[in-house]
A and B are shown apart, each in its own frame.
Chain A
Amino acid sequence: AQTVTQSQPEMSVQEAETVTLSCTYDTSESDYYLFWYKQPPSRQMILVIRQEAYKQQNATENRFSVNFQKAAKSFSLKISDSQLGDAAMYFCAYRTPFGNEKLTFGTGTRLTIIP
């Protein structure tokens, strides 16, 4: 079974600084997808960034980028120029393209932005 581990329950960063959230996963599959989701307090969970395992190039979405290390099964999220609106729970998630295509989530990292 696939597992996703987020070892940082809480992180904080000064506004405008850069922060990296860690995620490792375990799978025997070679083809899969990885995601970072953001869950602001009392608001909908939204997709931040997505990475296909067959792509070597790291995904980037504006201030958000990932460091995908397939051999190490590591998938960290870097947030540059942190903003107050980035404060949220961040979940790393894994999905196979087969079966029920469910998302397997990590336990989340609560990110606090310090003004």
Chain B
Amino acid sequence: EADIYQTPRYLVIGTGKKITLECSQTMGHDKMYWYQQDPGMELHLIHYSYGVNSTEKGDLSSESTVSRIRTEHFPLTLESARPSHTSQYLCATSPRSSTEAFFGQGTRLTVV
């Protein structure tokens, strides 16, 4: 079954550590997005990609970086985690010819 996989689901990590949040999809979609969601708050776009080798920053300033070397894979990296990075990170995909976005289950990150 086509789906979007985010790993890990939960992560607690110390300040200063480098982390990579994984997002993989078997949907075959060109467009992929990373949203940040604080508890009880709306989602904010932090990165997006239209396809391989295409990455752009979103509306919310983020110290994270992304890469899109393969269509299926859109990892997000924090070089040096800080407590202010504590949040939920949602990966989403969208097919080229559709308005609908499909979401992964999210990664809840806590930086201590």
Contact = CB atoms under 8 A, between A and B. Distances in A.
B1 to A, nearest CB: 13
B99 A33 contact: yes
Interface of A: 4, 9, 33, 35, 37, 42-47, 50, 52, 91, 95, 97, 100-103, 105-108
A102 B90 contact: no
B42 A108 contact: yes
Interface string B15-48: 0000000000000000101010000111111001
Contacts of B104: 44
Give the bracket for the number of chain B residues in contact with chain A: 20 to 34
B45 A103 contact: yes
Contacts of B105: 42-44
Q: Dominant SS at the B interface?
A: strand
Contacts of A9: 40
Nearest to B50: A100
28 contacts: A9-B40, A37-B103, A44-B103, A44-B104, A45-B90, A45-B103, A46-B103, A50-B100, A52-B99, A91-B43, A95-B99, A97-B99, A100-B45, A100-B48, A100-B56, A100-B58, A101-B99, A102-B48, A102-B58, A103-B45, A105-B42, A105-B43, A105-B44, A107-B40, A107-B41, A108-B40, A108-B41, A108-B42
B101 interface: yes
A4 B43 CA distance: 11
B23 to A, nearest CB: 13
A42 B33 CA distance: 19
A37 B105 CA distance: 14
A75 B93 CA distance: 24
Contacts of B48: 100, 102
A5 to B, nearest CB: 10
B65 interface: no
